[in-house]
């Protein structure tokens, strides 16, 4: 056990199953550990480092902002926050307003508070229940972990949990679960932790129309799918729907913590209803603006679409060449997965790829998950899949 590992074990709460590789530098889709070994990063900090590591434009923007002003209270107007809200609304095409927090869980907490207040003020009888899907993941606060539809997440250690959530297996089952206490449905359009599983477009459109006809809210958790991860700015745009509430986080700050809940219910919050000390400060929103500038240009030039096509071709090749390991490729855009034959195969692949200097992720339903930087170069992608093939050959 080296000194860093020893200190980590002594002073940091053991809430993670650590890998004690110590990364000291990054560049694009590459990471370097303290011994100088290079890794290709097909995980980007679980979808956070959307423009890769140490992107020069983002680094300059962060440094410039840090020299000027990092934080003031939200009791004052924050110029880059206003501009970022405007840009998010413009890119979404939705007539909405934004609330800024620091994470996906906080964005989802805000969304749930929006739903609860809507249910309190817009109906003759109070409505408060939110329906979510099994295999979903919405965060790790007490409320968002209860919103998560995975029973294993609801450990008795942290009970009692807030009431007001119901879980169903499929979109079809949502209709029967709606009762006179239901105020909203909360879904991910591609379930990340649940196996990188996209839902059927027609089913989602029918659900959105049904909920709107009943004055019930549709909350779309785009913490992982948003900010061009699926090819469009929002996965909601790919599905041709206009949700009532959308949540964003992960890739928006390129590594700087940020979360957003945006809603068409523009007057739902009054001063004092909700807040965040750090949310939407100068540093995080300046980072968010820069990330969007970078990714908008990549999409305009067609580079993002080319990367998506190339990555998809590689995944299809992996499935064709290894039918005993993979049943298929899943996901959208650069939020992708390979469905493994079983959990043992998944575990062996994760271990073998890391030994060969490639970082991939675990997801539900025995899935190996890929979330590369959206700016990944052809050379980095080629090298990453070369290492992936070497790992598979060694199994």
The edge-to-edge listing of strands for the beta sheet with 165-168 is 97-101, 259-263, 245-248, 217-221, 182-187, 129-133, 165-168
- 337 token code pair: 């997965």
Q: What percent of the chain has pLDDT over 70?
A: 100
pLDDT (tens digit, 9 = 90+) per residue, 180-235?
999 999 999 999 888 999 999 999 999 999 999 999 999 999 999 999 999 999 99
Distance in angstroms (rounded) separating the CA atoms of residues 289 and 285: 6
Q: Are 54 and 24 in contact (CB under 8 A)?
A: no
C-beta of residue 249 within 8 angstroms of C-beta of residue 103? yes
Split at pLDDT 50, 70, 90, the class of 115 is very high
Phi, psi angles (nearest 5°) of residue 362: -95, 140
Residue 79 scores a pLDDT above 90 = yes
Identify the structural domains of the chain with CATH numbers, from first to last: 19-48+302-393 (3.90.1150.10), 58-299 (3.40.640.10)
- Cβ within 8 Å of residue 193, ≥6 positions away: 135, 136, 137, 150, 363, 364
Alpha-carbon dihedral sign for residues 321, 324, 328, 330: negative
Sheet arrangement for strand 361-363: 326-332, 335-340, 367-370, 361-363
For the residues 161-180, what does the mean pLDDT come to?
Answer: 97
Q: List pLDDT tens digits, range 93-113.
A: 999 999 999 999 999 999 999
| Residue 353 backbone dihedrals phi, psi, to 5 degrees | -65, -40
Residue 281 contacts residue 62 (beta carbons within 8 Å): no
Terminal C-alpha separation, the chain = 28
Give the CA dihedral 163, 168, 173, 177, nearest 10 degrees.
-10
Question: What pLDDT score does 193 carry?
Answer: 84
The per-residue pLDDT for 309 is: 98
How many CB atoms sit inside 10 A of residue 302's CB?
9
Section 261-286 average pLDDT: 98
| Residues contacting residue 7 through CB under 8 Å, at least 6 positions apart | none
Identify the H or E element spanning 359.
strand 358-359
What CA–CA distance (Å, rounded) separates 237 from 228?
A: 10
Q: What is the 3-state secondary structure (H, E, C) of 213-263?
A: HCCCEEEEECCCCCCCCCCCCCHHHHHCCCCCEEEECHHHHCCCCCEEEEE
Q: For residue 378, what are the contacts with CB-CB under 8 A and spacing of at least 6?
A: 310
- DSSP state letters, 295-323: HHHHHHTTHHHHHHHHHHHHHHHHHHH-T
At 12, the pLDDT band (50, 70, 90 cuts) reads very high
Does residue 265 sit in helix, strand or coil? coil
Share the mean pLDDT of the chain: 97
What pLDDT shows up at residue 370?
98
pLDDT in tens, 51-65: 999 999 999 999 999
pLDDT of 23 strictly over 90? yes
Q: Are 104 and 139 in contact (CB under 8 A)?
A: yes
Give the model's pLDDT for residue 1. Answer: 78
């Amino acid at each position: 056990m080296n000194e860093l590992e020893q200190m980590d074990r002594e002073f940091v709460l053991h809430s993670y199953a650590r890998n004690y590789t110590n990364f000291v530098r990054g560049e694009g889709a590459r990471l370097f550990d303290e011994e100088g070994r290079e890794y290709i990063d097909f995980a980007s900090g679980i979808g956070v480092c959307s423009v890769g590591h140490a992107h020069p434009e983002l680094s300059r923007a962060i440094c410039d902002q840090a020299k000027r002003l990092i934080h003031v209270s939200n009791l004052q107007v924050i110029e880059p926050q206003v501009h970022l809200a405007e840009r998010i609304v413009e890119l979404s095409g939705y007539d909405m307003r934004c609330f800024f927090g620091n994470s996906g869980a906080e964005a989802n907490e805000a969304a749930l508070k929006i739903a609860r207040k809507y249910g309190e003020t817009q109906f003759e009888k109070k409505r408060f229940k939110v329906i979510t899907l099994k295999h979903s993941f919405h965060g790790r606060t007490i409320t968002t972990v209860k919103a998560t539809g995975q029973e294993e997440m609801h450990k008795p250690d942290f009970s009692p949990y807030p009431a007001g959530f119901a879980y169903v297996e499929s979109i079809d089952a949502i209709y029967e679960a709606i009762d006179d206490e239901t105020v909203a449905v909360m879904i991910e359009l591609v379930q990340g932790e649940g196996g990188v599983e996209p839902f059927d477009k027609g089913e989602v459109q029918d659900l959105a129309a049904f909920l709107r006809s009943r004055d019930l809210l549709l909350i779309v958790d785009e913490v992982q799918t948003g900010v061009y991860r699926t090819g469009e700015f929002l996965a909601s745009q790919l599905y041709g729907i206009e949700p009532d509430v959308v949540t964003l986080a992960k890739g928006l700050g390129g590594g700087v913590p940020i979360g957003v809940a945006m809603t068409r219910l523009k007057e739902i919050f009054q001063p004092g209803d909700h807040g965040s000390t750090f949310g939407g400060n100068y540093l995080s929103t300046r980072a968010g603006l820069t990330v969007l500038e970078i990714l908008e240009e990549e999409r305009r030039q067609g580079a993002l679409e080319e990367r998506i096509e190339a990555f998809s071709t590689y995944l299809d090749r992996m499935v064709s060449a290894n039918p005993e390991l993979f049943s298929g490729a899943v996901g959208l855009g650069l939020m992708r997965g390979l469905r493994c034959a079983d959990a043992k195969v998944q575990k062996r692949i994760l271990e073998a790829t890391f030994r060969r200097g490639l970082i991939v992720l675990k997801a539900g339903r025995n899935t190996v998950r890929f979330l590369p930087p959206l700016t990944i170069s052809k050379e980095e992608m080629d090298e990453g899949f070369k290492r992936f093939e070497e790992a598979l050959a060694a199994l």
